[in-house]
Chains A and B, each alone.
Chain A
């Protein structure tokens, strides 16, 4: 079974700082990897989708990279803002299912 790990579990940074969230997975045979954010009491909002043939995707201040062979992905957030405070989850798709990590809880301090 695919295991997805996210480190750190929680992160607190001052506003304006650049930061990196990590996601690792045990089986490199995946079709894609997707990053989500989840606000308290809400569903998951898609941030970036990386197909297995891609190395990275960018959207605004977000950049996600994928190294399938080593089973790793990173989400880079530039110039963090208080509105970025949320839980960030990654998910990989080896087949019909998506497997999720437990998330990184990010707090950006004004």
Chain B
């Protein structure tokens, strides 16, 4: 696609519900990142995929958070038993290259704003 696409743009969940957030990266982009952004803060790293392999999940705040990218393209971030502190904007980004020394630009989607009541 032309850009990184995320859905839903807005999600309201009751505490304890499970949610799934989808990211469709730019076609051909090998690397995919999930970030969490609280109001007034910079994005915080959650997890990183290279194709279908999840190479780094050190930023996932708890075992309630799970991400997958089974075919190396679309990715889903799942949050189980949502809590109020999970309320944030979840941003997905993709990058064309895996080479650290000379990467292209990181491109972001519009984000999914999650509100947990």
Contacts and interface: CB of A to CB of B under 8 A. Distances in A.
Interface of A: 4, 31-32, 34, 36, 41-46, 49, 51-52, 89, 91, 93, 95-103
Contacts of B48: 96-97
Contacts, number: 64
Contact of B33 (A51, A52, A98): A98
B12 interface: no
B106 A34 contact: yes
Contact of A31 (B35, B56, B101): B101
Interface string B8-39: 00000000000000000000000001010000
Nearest to B99: A31
B43 A97 contact: no
A96 B55 contact: yes
Contacts of A98: 33, 43, 45, 93, 106
